[in-house]
């Protein structure tokens, strides 16, 4: 059943798309889009999920989808008004539908109580008078799906279905009426008389009387008589109209229902009479004879249509006969299903053409791409080593060798970019899970929240995408749970009771930035400060800026929620989020305006594989400063350096003062800084826009470096983002600019404690 399994995979893929369409459509409806195309699309999504689920016998999914579909159908028909409130209910229903799909796939469980409650709610919407009680248990009981067999294709097209071959042929035959009448006494109880008078509609719908006869013949031997008395002369004949009546004598073991079923498709399109016994046949015979004896005069004018008698019967020999009227008789062996065998034997030979919208997509095992990226990383290192060797030999930059190397470098970079682009994905895959989260959290906390998403198509390396979900989830939860006020509070504050949470992705200076902002009450700084003091995280007399207070929420062991809520208080605080983000070379910060809301900003490198950096010397060590952070490099003049406080100093850059940070001291390489004028200053800008002047001893130039995680190979070191291997094979540390600025800020410019951080740069 491989083919069926493959279709099942397709089904679940399609479900994902349909669920996304469903959600999109419902969100549009919530925004007020009531046009029929939107409602239709929403209906179709649920309808298609139900249809596929039915084919695979996924009963609980079918049941829920059915209730859902019924309501949507009513909305579509206009009998249930399309309102914003309804859209909210439908959105929650779509979440449960998604759960059912996941459960059917074997991923996770459905909260059956919630599902039943939702089904009942949907039914109440569909019909406000219906008692929802009945629906609830019905759905709950669906824990064990009733298996629906999906059989292998068994019956093949039999050869009787070939073109122009109805499975029987016309054979002229004469009938003895006496014989028929004499046989009447011997009529077995399994004889039926079926009278069929087709209407023109029957033919208009491409139905065919001959096929009906063939179907009857499948039930048993038949003898069909045509009454054409109503047939007008040829010149009066409407070719589209129906004039004839068939009388069929059928011998079958089947019951009336089985006979009636043959006429299922033509119900209403023909007058049908089914009677037990043979009386009607005799009547038909009598009328037939009447026609034969007294032919209508018009018939003579043209070719007289023969009164045909058709016998479609297996070798049921018709008794002997006085010639009454020449009558074509159809005789055929019973269309044998067994004849299907040859056709079924070569099913695969059939061509399948899919003229659907063409897409050319190559599926590649991600491991192959990862391997390629690793290899390109090695190539970059190797190329750097080569360039360094060439430099050591003192070869002129204008020489062919050096120029060739430059070209090699360019090519290497292009290869690297191209390979990274293969693995890049839009953040959409993460973002599209968030609307549901927002709904659920809003529901749980009794808040009203609307999610606005921007930049879903921002691309980022796959390695980063996978790590985005958790922090975004936390930030959103936090924004709704702690950021947004209750609808009442919002109304009292003159705001829209529905809060807006914005989730945005953008590229900024070679990094991906994720922003989660809310229009809530902002951080209550007094309270945050109080809690931090109470929990012994900070000294009570510490002077902090507003921004520093806001960022206290990232301290380990800090939780602002006075009562542990369902949502945020799951033991995972913002400190954990911060640590996991930092482990990726990322940063997270918060800004807040009282009464207006807060914004979380998360930034991560676009890739966890390569980095453009400035190679510098500090206290005899080689370090790499990420190029993205560097605004400019300069040699300060003595008059630009101003002391600030007991040991700190600032640099005057144009109109502003920027704190001076000696990298060597910050990382614990040396206790005493050289004078800034003896070195080089790198003016850097942190994620939050704060600037600092980093003092290094010398600059070696820009280089692309392959990032090697320090956490994975050693441990996390404050102020260091990662490590890399230089052209000469040495390990160099990559400076974490923001952490360095933060360290300096925290220590108020004081010299570092005497125990230096141990960093092995070997």
Residues that bind other proteins (CB under 8 A): 3-4, 6-7, 10-11, 13-14, 40-41, 43-44, 47-48, 50-52, 54-55, 57, 66, 148-158, 161-166, 204-208, 210-211, 215, 262, 264-265, 268, 343-344, 346-348, 350-357
Residue owning tokens 């005789």: 331
Nearer to other proteins, 5 or 655 (CB): 5
**Contacts for 407 with CB less than 8 Å, ≥ 6 apart:** none
CB of 119 to other proteins, least distance (A): 15
User: Strand pairing partners for 170?
Assistant: 330
Measured CA to CA in angstroms, residue 237 lies from 198, 242, 294 at distances of: 16, 10, 21
Nearer to other proteins, 150 or 258 (CB): 150
Region of 668 on the Ramachandran plot (φ > 0 left; ψ -120 to 50 alpha; else beta) = left
Neighbouring CB atoms inside 10 A of 513's CB total: 19
Q: CB-hemisphere CA count at 13 Å for 13? A: 6
CB of 359 to other proteins, least distance (A): 12
CB of 97 to other proteins, least distance (A): 16
Backbone dihedral angles phi then psi of residue 342, each to the nearest 5 degrees? -60, -35
Nearer to other proteins, 149 or 539 (CB): 149
d(CA 574, CA 482): 12
Token pair of 740, please? 């360095």
CB of 435 to other proteins, least distance (A): 23
Pairing of strands 621-626, 610-618: antiparallel
CB of 11 to other proteins, least distance (A): 4
The three-point CA angle 34-35-36 to 5° equals 115
CB of 257 to other proteins, least distance (A): 16
Nearer to other proteins, 155 or 186 (CB): 155
Nearer to other proteins, 353 or 367 (CB): 353
Helix (H) or strand (E) holding 171: strand 169-173
Cβ pair 424, 460 in contact under 8 A: yes
Nearer to other proteins, 23 or 485 (CB): 23
CB of 496 to other proteins, least distance (A): 34
How far from the centroid of its chain's Cα atoms is residue 24's Cα? 11
Neighbouring CB atoms inside 10 A of 437's CB total: 18
CB of 155 to other proteins, least distance (A): 5
CB of 42 to other proteins, least distance (A): 11
Measured CA to CA in angstroms, residue 408 lies from 18, 391, 412, 700 at distances of: 47, 15, 6, 20
d(CA 514, CA 140): 41
CB of 399 to other proteins, least distance (A): 60
CB of 67 to other proteins, least distance (A): 11
CB of 353 to other proteins, least distance (A): 5
CB of 345 to other proteins, least distance (A): 9
Nearer to other proteins, 346 or 398 (CB): 346
d(CA 97, CA 22): 10
Nearer to other proteins, 216 or 381 (CB): 216
Closest-CA residue to 733 (of 668, 688, 672): 668
Helix (H) or strand (E) holding 548: helix 546-550
CB of 352 to other proteins, least distance (A): 5
Q: CB-hemisphere CA count at 13 Å for 410? A: 6
Nearer to other proteins, 128 or 355 (CB): 355
CB of 241 to other proteins, least distance (A): 15
**Contacts for 444 with CB less than 8 Å, ≥ 6 apart:** 565, 566, 567
Nearer to other proteins, 82 or 445 (CB): 82
User: Strand pairing partners for 198?
Assistant: 270
Nearer to other proteins, 354 or 760 (CB): 354
How much is the CA Rg of the chain, to the nearest whole Å? 41
Nearer to other proteins, 356 or 394 (CB): 356
Nearer to other proteins, 79 or 496 (CB): 79
Nearer to other proteins, 28 or 41 (CB): 41
HEC states along 361-426?
CCCCCHHHHHHHHHHHHHHHHHHHHHHHHHHHCCCCCCCHHHHHHHHHHHHHHHHHHHHHHHHEEE
Nearer to other proteins, 348 or 654 (CB): 348
d(CA 681, CA 684): 9
Nearer to other proteins, 8 or 436 (CB): 8
SS3 of residue 333 by DSSP: coil
d(CA 630, CA 681): 10
Cβ pair 521, 483 in contact under 8 A: yes
CB of 147 to other proteins, least distance (A): 12
Q: CB-hemisphere CA count at 13 Å for 77? A: 9
User: Strand pairing partners for 276?
Assistant: 192
């Amino acid at each position: 059943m491989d083919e069926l399994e493959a279709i099942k995979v397709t089904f679940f893929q399609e479900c994902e798309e349909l669920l996304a369409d469903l959600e999109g459509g419902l969100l549009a409806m919530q925004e007020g889009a009531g046009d029929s195309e939107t409602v239709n699309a929403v209906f179709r999504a649920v309808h298609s999920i139900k249809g596929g689920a039915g084919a695979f016998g996924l009963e609980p999914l079918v049941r829920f989808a059915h209730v859902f579909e019924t309501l949507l159908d009513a909305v579509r028909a206009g009998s249930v008004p399309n309102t914003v409130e309804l859209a909210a209910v439908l959105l929650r229903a779509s979440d449960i539908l998604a759960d059912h799909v996941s459960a059917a796939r074997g991923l996770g469980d459905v909260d059956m109580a919630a599902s039943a409650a939702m089904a009942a709610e949907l039914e109440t919407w569909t019909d406000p008078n219906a008692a929802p009680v009945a629906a609830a248990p019905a759905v709950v009981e669906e824990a064990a799906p009733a298996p629906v067999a999906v059989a292998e294709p068994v019956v093949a097209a039999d050869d009787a279905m070939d073109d122009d071959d109805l499975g029987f042929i016309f054979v002229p035959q004469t009938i003895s009426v006496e014989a028929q009448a004499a046989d009447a006494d011997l009529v077995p109880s399994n004889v039926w008389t079926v009278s069929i008078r087709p209407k023109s509609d029957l033919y208009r719908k491409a139905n065919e009387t001959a096929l009906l006869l063939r179907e009857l013949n499948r039930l048993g031997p038949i003898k069909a008589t045509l009454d054409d008395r109503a047939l007008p002369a040829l010149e009066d004949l409407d070719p589209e109209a129906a004039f004839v009546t068939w009388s069929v004598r059928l011998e079958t073991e089947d019951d009336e229902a089985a006979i009636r079923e043959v006429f299922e498709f033509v119900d209403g399109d023909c007058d049908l009479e089914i009677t037990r016994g043979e009386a009607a046949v005799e009547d038909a015979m009598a009328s037939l004879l009447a026609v034969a004896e007294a032919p209508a005069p018009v018939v003579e004018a043209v070719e007289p249509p023969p009164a045909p008698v058709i016998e479609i019967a297996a070798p049921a020999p018709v008794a002997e006969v006085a010639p009454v009227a020449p009558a074509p008789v159809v005789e055929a062996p019973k269309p044998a299903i067994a004849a299907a065998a040859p056709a079924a034997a070569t099913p695969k030979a059939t061509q399948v053409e899919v003229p659907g919208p063409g897409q050319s997509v190559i599926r590649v095992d991600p491991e192959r791409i990862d391997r390629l990226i690793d290899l390109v990383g090695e190539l970059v290192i190797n190329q750097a080593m080569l360039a360094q060797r060439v430099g050591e030999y003192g070869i002129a930059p204008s020489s062919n060798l050096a120029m060739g190397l430059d070209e090699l470098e360019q090519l290497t970079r292009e290869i690297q970019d191209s390979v990274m682009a293969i693995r890049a994905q839009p953040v959409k895959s993460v973002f599209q899970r968030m609307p549901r989260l927002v709904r659920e959290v809003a529901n749980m906390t009794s808040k009203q929240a609307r999610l606005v998403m921007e930049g879903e198509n921002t691309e980022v390396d796959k390695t980063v995408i996978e790590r985005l979900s958790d922090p975004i989830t936390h930030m959103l939860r936090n924004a709704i749970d702690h950021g947004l006020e209750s609808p009442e509070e919002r109304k009292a504050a003159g705001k829209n009771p529905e809060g807006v949470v914005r989730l945005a992705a953008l590229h900024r200076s070679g990094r991906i930035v994720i922003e989660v902002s809310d229009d809530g009450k902002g951080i209550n700084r007094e309270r945050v400060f109080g809690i931090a003091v109470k929990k012994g995280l900070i000294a009570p007399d510490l002077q902090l800026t507003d921004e520093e207070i806001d960022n206290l929420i990232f301290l380990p062991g800090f939780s602002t929620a006075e009562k542990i809520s369902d949502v945020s208080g799951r033991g995972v605080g913002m400190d954990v989020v911060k640590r996991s983000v930092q482990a990726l070379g990322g940063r997270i910060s918060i800004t807040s305006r009282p009464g207006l809301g807060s914004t979380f900003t998360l930034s991560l490198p676009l890739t966890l594989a390569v980095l453009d950096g400035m190679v510098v010397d500090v206290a005899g060590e080689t370090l790499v400063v990420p190029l993205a952070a560097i605004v400019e490099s300069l040699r300060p003049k003595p008059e630009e350096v101003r002391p600030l406080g007991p040991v700190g100093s600032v640099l005057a850059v144009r109109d502003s003062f920027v704190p001076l940070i000696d990298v060597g001291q910050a990382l614990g390489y040396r206790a005493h800084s050289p004078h800034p004028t003896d070195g080089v200053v790198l003016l850097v800008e942190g994620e939050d826009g704060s600037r600092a002047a980093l003092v290094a001893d010398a600059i070696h130039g820009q280089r692309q470096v392959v990032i090697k995680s320090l956490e994975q190979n050693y441990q996390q070191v404050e102020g260091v983002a990662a490590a890399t291997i230089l052209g000469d094979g040495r390990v160099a540390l990559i400076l974490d600019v923001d952490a360095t600025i933060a360290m300096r800020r925290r220590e108020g410019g004081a010299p570092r404690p005497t125990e230096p951080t141990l960093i092995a740069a070997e």
